Structure formats: C-alpha cells, structure tokens
A = this chain, B = another copy of it.
Amino acid sequence: MHYPGSIKKEYKKNANYANRGMDLESELNISNEYYLNNNRALIYKKPTPIGIVSVDYKQAIITKAYFKTPSTLDYNGLYKGKYIEFEAKESLSKTSFPLNNFHEHQIIHIKKAIQHGGIVFIIIRMNGNTYLLKGSDFQNYLEKNKRKSIPYTYIEEKGKIIKDGITPRLDYLSIVDEIYFKEEENGK
C-alpha cells in the first residue's frame, strides 16, 4: 500500500525549523510560505485526496475515509504569471530513483501540463543533494528508456542542485528563473 507523504507529516507539527534533518516536504512548505509572505509566488501543496465514507456531523469529524490516488502533482501555483507544478520525492536508493514513486496518471499529467505551456519539474532529494529535474528531461528519459528507475547519473547530469539556505530554506525558484525565465529576460 502506498501512503501519500503528507500523512506522516501530520504528526510533525512541532518540528523545529532549525533542525537540519527536516524532511523535504517540510522544507518546501516553509519555502513556499516564505515566497508567499514576500509576495514572490503563490505555490501550495495540494491536500491529500481522500474519499469520505462517514462523517459525524454533530462533531464535524470525519470518522471513516480512504486515500485516493492522485492524478496531478503535489504542488502547484502561480509564478511570474506562469502556471507552475511539481512533485517532490526523496530517494533512499543511492544509485537510482525508482519510478514507482509516480502513478500512471501523474506521468500522463506531466506530459500534458508541458504541452499546455506549464512549468513542470520534479524535485528529487538523493545522496544528500536536492535536484530540480525539468519535466521534459524526466519525460524524455521515460520515453527513451523502458526502465523502472532513473539512474542517479542521469539526475546528476540533467538536474540542477537547489542550494540549502535559511530564507527561503530551498530557493528552488532561483533555479526556475535560470531555466525558464533567463531567455525571456534577455529578450530571447
């Protein structure tokens, strides 16, 4: 059974932000909060999709629900007038990033979102680094290789390292600027 990453996070509310061992999702959440408060971007984590089976309406409590499979990526929003969407994953394997991290619908969605002009990417934490891999590079690998994982060498070659910081914790938008907005700013 695959559990969405956010569930474990619910129990980590009191996590210390200064803690170097913070997980990727928490680091992205505080980075997005920083972007929001500084009016740089509006990017949110989507709620975990669930199916509600029963509700205690008196107490306003859900008493039974199940996890649904997501069709889109975990984060989406608006940056410099553009649609942005991404997924974030930590890989325990040091040699390859397993593709069973993604549902089939999500892979189709990535392709479509690129076609429709969205900025789409994957954030992968692996071997102690945090990489931003363009959706098109992810897509290209999948189409050319019928493998169940992406080798770390490919992620190292194509991905860009997102530097650790304090404010924001993970400044992934500076990589987005570099990849997606540099040409525009130079008048192409």
A48-101, CB < 8 A from B: 48-53, 55, 57, 60-68, 71-72, 76-85
Nearest-neighbour CB distance to chain B for A30, whole angstroms, equals 15
A18 at the interface (CB under 8 A from B): no
Q: In the complex where A50-B50, A64-B63 touch, is A39 in contact with B112 (Cβ < 8 A)?
A: yes
Q: Once the chains bind, are A116 and B60 in contact (CB under 8 Å)?
A: no
Q: In the complex where A42-B112, A48-B47 touch, is A83 in contact with B83 (Cβ < 8 A)?
A: yes
* Chain B neighbourhood of A62, CB < 8 A: 50, 62, 64-67
Which of B44, B60, B66 is the one whose CB lies under 8 Å from A61?
A: B66
A10 at the interface (CB under 8 A from B): yes
A166 at the interface (CB under 8 A from B): no
Q: Once the chains bind, are A78 and B113 in contact (CB under 8 Å)?
A: yes
Q: Once the chains bind, are A47 and B46 in contact (CB under 8 Å)?
A: yes
Query: In the docked arrangement, what's the CA distance between A44 and B47, Å?
Result: 12
* Chain B neighbourhood of A21, CB < 8 A: none
Which of B51, B61, B84 is the one whose CB lies under 8 Å from A64?
A: B61
Kindly report which residue of chain B lies nearest to residue A51, judged by CB atoms.
Answer: B10
Q: Once the chains bind, are B52 and A49 in contact (CB under 8 Å)?
A: no
Query: In the docked arrangement, what's the CA distance between A61 and B52, Å?
Result: 10
Which of B7, B63, B78 is the one whose CB lies under 8 Å from A55?
A: B7
Query: In the docked arrangement, what's the CA distance between A1 and B112, Å?
Result: 39
A165 at the interface (CB under 8 A from B): no
Query: In the docked arrangement, what's the CA distance between A3 and B79, Å?
Result: 30
Kindly report which residue of chain B lies nearest to residue A68, judged by CB atoms.
Answer: B47
Q: Once the chains bind, are A60 and B66 in contact (CB under 8 Å)?
A: yes
